[in-house]
């Protein structure tokens, strides 16, 4: 049958099972929006307050559901406003498809009104991108975009469609998408045998799990391996939930704000089994001294990550879940009682701790955990609150923590929380933000209120840019350059003005009741939690130092 380009876009979205898109209209994309209007009973469109919010919402939807998230924007500034969200998804391997419109083909390259070479702009931050200049190519391009976004190591794909292509007519025939198989092409028997040999010879194995284990949903297979070899387990920020955070073998997060038990465990182990980890600088610290007593086994889907940041002794390339299915039967059952006793000692001697009497970031996280029974989807922005959420909420399964780990995007959280709640309406969804981050995306409270999407925005409000101030306090002689936010902005009134419920919390005794009310209301809520401006995230590793140089507040007191 003959359809125009806009009809083809919508039909291809339906082919892919898309039920929700996030976006913001404009002149170049009007034809597509007109077609979406006609299919509003099949595809829900969420109008965000800003295109960046749409890209983050598509990201949050994808992370929470495991499906491809979709965002739409018009040409020029509409398209460029997606860039930060696309880069965020790229760094964290999140499958989204961004559909932008552009000026007509005859006007391309002529500095036309609201024209931008968005494929050129996004080339370094997409898995692939397209500009479709012939309507005959449109359907297959969109189908390829979804396949590329999802297969292998996921990532964002952008499709740019000139306006005249959205109006042009061609033949269209529906196609049922083929299932995307897990990548096992490069899983070699000799690699598995070498990996099994290293594990069997190890006396002090340590498992470190990253975002790849979450993406592959390898939690069941990971637990089977850990139980068989009796090894302690730490995770990266992106690996939260791949291994149960309340399991006795769990030691906490690794890296700059990781626990002493994990950082010292990695330093003392004789074999580090890294599953879906890219060995980022915030995890390894001084790369030349990382896990220097250990051999390293690296399991990852992307060959570009092998030996990129850390040289390893053995690697197995492919989907983490499929590799673990093959590897676990090949390893011998072990006990490692002495090694596990050492890890228990580290956990007992160096627990996470904080001031118990006052309202603090950690106190907020622990109370959120209690009120939600550890079953919420936690979204975060970036900064101190992000680290507290990683340290003090115990994640039991994959896709529970949605956070910008690679790009570190302030302003990510609220849009992502909206996307997550739309995708998983049965879940309580809570975004943890600092007051600096909240200022960057607080306009999306209006989006949540417009559609009555009951997300809970918890603002850890210390009236400063907390993480930057912490560095200024510890390493810059207390010169607080441009980090103080001590002004008269009232987040409670702001929430109410945007159509949400606002509550202020100034004492720890007020915390439980406010959180329970927020969860029960079924409306968007902003909780303004006032904490001290000099509360710090501990433990901490100085930039460039080996991770065993981790220190906490007790170490600072000893130095004084």
Per the structure block, which two tokens stand in for 409?
A: 């995007």
Helix (H/G/I), strand (E/B), else coil: 39: coil
d(CA 340, CA 226): 12
Helix (H/G/I), strand (E/B), else coil: 477: coil
Per the structure block, which two tokens stand in for 34?
A: 């007109």
Bridge partner list, 45: 21
Helix (H/G/I), strand (E/B), else coil: 384: helix
Per the structure block, which two tokens stand in for 482?
A: 């441009």
d(CA 480, CA 476): 8
Cα dihedral 418→420→423→429 (10° resolution): -90
The answer to whether residues 463 and 489 touch, using CB atoms and an 8 Å cutoff, is no
Active site residue 268: no
d(CA 258, CA 350): 11
Active site residue 279: no
Among 365, 467, 503, 540, which one carries the catalytic annotation? Answer: 467
Query: How does strand 69-73 pair with strand 250-253?
Result: unpaired
Measured between alpha carbons, how far apart are the two ends of the chain, in Å? 79
Per the structure block, which two tokens stand in for 511?
A: 């915390």
Per the structure block, which two tokens stand in for 235?
A: 């995770």
CA-wise closest residue to 277 among 307, 246, 245: 307
CA-wise closest residue to 432 among 413, 445, 406, 447: 413
Secondary element (H or E) of residue 334: none
The answer to whether residues 428 and 455 touch, using CB atoms and an 8 Å cutoff, is no
| Complete edge-to-edge strand list for the sheet that includes strand 456-461 | 401-402, 377-380, 429-434, 456-461, 525-530, 501-505
Active site residue 467: yes
Active site residue 163: yes
How remote is the C-alpha of 508 from its chain's centroid?
29
Among 11, 51, 366, 444, which one carries the catalytic annotation? Answer: 51
Among 38, 42, 113, 512, which one carries the catalytic annotation? Answer: 113
Active site residue 470: no
d(CA 333, CA 342): 20
| Complete edge-to-edge strand list for the sheet that includes strand 295-300 | 250-253, 233-235, 205-209, 271-275, 295-300, 314-317
Among 15, 114, 295, 496, which one carries the catalytic annotation? Answer: 114
Per the structure block, which two tokens stand in for 44?
A: 């829900």
Among 163, 240, 249, 325, which one carries the catalytic annotation? Answer: 163
Per the structure block, which two tokens stand in for 75?
A: 């040409």
Catalytic residue positions, numbered: 51, 113-114, 163, 467
């Amino acid at each position: 049958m003959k359809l125009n380009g806009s009809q083809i876009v919508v039909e291809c979205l339906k082919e892919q099972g898309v039920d929700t898109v996030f976006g913001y209209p404009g002149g170049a994309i009007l034809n597509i929006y007109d077609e979406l209007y006609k299919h509003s009973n099949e595809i829900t469109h969420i109008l965000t307050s800003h295109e960046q919010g749409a890209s983050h919402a598509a990201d949050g939807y994808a992370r929470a559901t495991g499906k491809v998230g979709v965002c739409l924007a018009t040409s020029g500034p509409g398209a460029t406003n997606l860039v930060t969200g696309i880069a965020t998804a790229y760094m964290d391997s999140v499958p989204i498809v961004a559909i932008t419109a552009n000026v007509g083909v005859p006007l391309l390259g002529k500095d036309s009104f609201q024209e931008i070479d968005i494929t050129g702009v996004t080339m370094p931050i997409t898995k692939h991108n397209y500009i479709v200049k012939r309507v005959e190519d449109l359907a297959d391009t969109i189908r390829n975009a979804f396949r590329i976004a999802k297969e292998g190591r996921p990532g964002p794909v952008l499709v740019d469609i000139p306006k005249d292509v959205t109006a042009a007519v061609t033949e269209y025939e529906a196609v049922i998408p083929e299932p995307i198989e897990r990548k096992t092409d490069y899983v070699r028997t000799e690699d598995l045998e070498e990996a099994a040999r290293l594990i069997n010879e190890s006396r002090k194995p340590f498992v470190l799990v990253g975002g790849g284990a979450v993406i592959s949903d390898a939690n069941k297979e990971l637990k089977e391996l850990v139980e068989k070899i009796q090894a302690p387990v730490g995770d990266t920020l992106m690996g939260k939930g791949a291994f149960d955070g309340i399991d006795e073998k769990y030691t906490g997060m690794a890296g700059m704000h990781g626990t002493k038990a994990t950082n010292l465990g990695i330093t003392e182990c004789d074999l580090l089994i890294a599953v879906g980890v890219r060995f980022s600088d915030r995890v390894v610290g001084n790369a030349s001294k990382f896990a220097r007593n250990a051999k390293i086994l690296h399991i990852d889907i992307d060959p570009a990550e092998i030996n990129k940041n850390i040289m390893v002794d053995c690697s197995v390339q492919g989907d983490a879940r499929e590799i673990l299915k093959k590897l676990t039967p090949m390893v011998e059952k072990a006990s490692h009682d002495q090694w596990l006793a050492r890890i228990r000692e580290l956990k007992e001697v160096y627990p996470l701790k904080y001031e118990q009497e006052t309202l603090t970031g950690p106190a907020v996280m622990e109370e959120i955990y209690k009120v939600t029974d550890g079953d919420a989807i936690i979204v975060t922005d970036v900064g101190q609150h992000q680290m507290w959420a990683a340290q003090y909420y115990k994640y039991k399964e994959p896709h529970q923590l949605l956070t910008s780990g690679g790009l570190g995007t302030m302003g990510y959280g609220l849009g992502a929380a909206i996307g997550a709640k739309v995708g998983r309406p049965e879940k309580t969804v809570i975004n943890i933000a600092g007051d600096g981050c909240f200022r960057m995306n607080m306009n999306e409270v209006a989006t949540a209120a417009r559609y009555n999407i009951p997300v809970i925005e918890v603002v850890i409000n210390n009236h400063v840019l907390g993480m930057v101030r912490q560095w200024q306090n510890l390493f810059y002689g207390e010169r607080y350059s441009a980090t103080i936010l001590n002004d008269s902005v009232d987040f409670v009134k702001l929430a109410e003005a945007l159509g949400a419920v606002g509550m202020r919390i100034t004492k720890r005794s007020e915390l439980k009741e406010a959180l329970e009310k927020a969860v029960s209301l079924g409306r968007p809520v902003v909780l303004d939690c006032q904490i001290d401006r000099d509360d710090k995230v501990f433990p901490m590793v100085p930039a460039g130092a080996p991770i065993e140089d981790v220190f906490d507040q007790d170490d600072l007191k000893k130095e004084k």
